[in-house]
Amino acid sequence: MENLEVVVLAGSSAITGIIGYYLWKEAKYLGHVKDAPRLTIDRNFKAIVDEAPKHTIPYAVVEGSVAALGTPLKSENASGLLGVIQTLICREHKTYWSGSTRLWHDTTRLIRNISHTVPFELRGNKASVKVDDPLSAVGLEIPIVHDSFEPSSTSLGEHIVSWASGEKTKGFQTMERMLSEGTVLTGVGMISTSTGTLMLGPPATSDRLYILGRTGFSGVVRDLQSKLNQLRFMLYVSGSITALLSALWAYRWYKQYCEKVAHEMQVERVLQNRAQDDNEGTNIDQEINEDNTCTICLTNRRDVVLLECGHICTCARCARLLQPPQCPICRQRVKRVVPLFNA
């Protein structure tokens, strides 16, 4: 039982530590985003980056509208919509008969999941910056431009077949996500002209996040802040559990310690009284034989009763050393040690 407590306490301490680490990391991310210079994509932009050390600004915020470099992607479902990142998903919805639950269950099966991307840039005022590796950025939620469900029509014959096979198709769901041209994106990352073109990309150090967001700079900050708040709450919960368990543990240890001291003092009194009695000659010495030697030291005579169990199995000296105060025969807790007098 006590081992389990140690395991739980160690586990909750470790979890608290891990959450604390992530909280520290996220707070650092947010701090860097708030401190990052906010630059405007205009005619002066390239000159500013060119003049920076190594033609690089390590971390900055820019905002511009998405424009494909080359031929943009065409939406399959929304006519006339052009974009730069496209995901096409098709799922089959079906029900199957489960023999164990004796019920029909719904499931889906992924039939198609394709992503296409084309290089793109963020356009500002008569200037633009190319976006490097956009899929590695966080915060870029690509909007759904199409989501439809087509129920499959089943004839009577197919109905009977599906009943017999225990599986039937309900229909097909088609979903398309697309980052369309003209979407205003906020990018936070490293800006460099070292390759000749202005480029926004992942920062060089791991304590900064590469972010692309559709809800403006305030949206980027808000998202990071809400993640931070979630982690703070989790830290509060796991920290409280750890503190509670530690307090419980400390209390139990203290109680055990008090019991130990009380037990020692009590047996000490028995020993003192015994010594006094011996001096006064009131205690009659009895022959020591196999039946009355202490079961612990195998030398002294058994001269105390352990209560509540009532076992007579040790000498007073050994009874004092019982830690925790427990009867060596029946393991019951020793509440009191009473001297045994043979008259």
In degrees and rounded to multiples of 5, residue 167 shows phi and psi of: -150, 130
Q: How far is the CB of 333 from Zn ion (least distance, A)?
A: 10
Q: How far is the CB of 255 from Zn ion (least distance, A)?
A: 22
Burial of residue 202 (CB within 10 Å: 0-12, 13-18, 19+) is middle
Pick the closer one to Zn ion by CB: 221 or 315: 315
The C-alpha atoms of residue 293 and residue 301 are separated, in whole angstroms, by 5
Could you say whether residue 309 binds Zn ion (CB under 5 A)? yes
Could you say whether residue 305 binds Zn ion (CB under 5 A)? no
First and final C-alpha spacing in the chain? 45
- Can you tell me which of 160, 248, 330, 338 binds Zn ion, judged by CB under 5 A? 330
Q: How far is the CB of 283 from Zn ion (least distance, A)?
A: 17
Q: Which stretch binds Zn ion (CB under 5 A): 38-46, 96-104, 178-186, 314-322?
A: 314-322
The C-alpha atoms of residue 256 and residue 244 are separated, in whole angstroms, by 18
In the chain, DSSP assigns E strands to: 56-68, 73-74, 82-98, 103-117, 120-123, 128-131, 144-151, 167-180, 184-192, 199-201, 211-213, 304-307, 336-339
Q: How far is the CB of 98 from Zn ion (least distance, A)?
A: 57
CB 87 within 8 A of CB 73: no
Could you say whether residue 327 binds Zn ion (CB under 5 A)? yes
Long-range Cβ contact pairs of 44-53 (< 8 A, separation 24 or more): 45/124, 45/127, 45/129, 45/198, 46/127, 46/193, 46/198, 49/191, 49/192, 49/193, 49/198, 50/193
The C-alpha atoms of residue 203 and residue 193 are separated, in whole angstroms, by 14
Q: Length of the chain in residues, anyone?
A: 343
Could you say whether residue 338 binds Zn ion (CB under 5 A)? no
- Can you tell me which of 211, 212, 318, 337 binds Zn ion, judged by CB under 5 A? 318
Q: Which stretch binds Zn ion (CB under 5 A): 46-54, 127-135, 223-231, 299-307?
A: 299-307
Could you say whether residue 329 binds Zn ion (CB under 5 A)? yes
Closest Cα partner for 181 from 131, 113, 240, 110? Answer: 131
Binding to Zn ion by CB under 5 A, coded x per residue (else -) over 254-293, reads ----------------------------------------
Pick the closer one to Zn ion by CB: 225 or 300: 300
Q: How far is the CB of 305 from Zn ion (least distance, A)?
A: 10
Could you say whether residue 300 binds Zn ion (CB under 5 A)? yes
- Can you tell me which of 144, 160, 297, 338 binds Zn ion, judged by CB under 5 A? 297
Pick the closer one to Zn ion by CB: 90 or 296: 296
Q: How far is the CB of 1 from Zn ion (least distance, A)?
A: 21
Could you say whether residue 294 binds Zn ion (CB under 5 A)? yes
Could you say whether residue 311 binds Zn ion (CB under 5 A)? yes
> At 143, is the secondary structure helix, strand, or coil?
coil
Distance of CA 240 to the CA centre of its chain: 15
Q: How far is the CB of 259 from Zn ion (least distance, A)?
A: 17
Q: How far is the CB of 19 from Zn ion (least distance, A)?
A: 47
- Residues near Zn ion (CB under 5 A) are 294, 296-297, 300, 309, 311, 315, 318, 327, 329-330
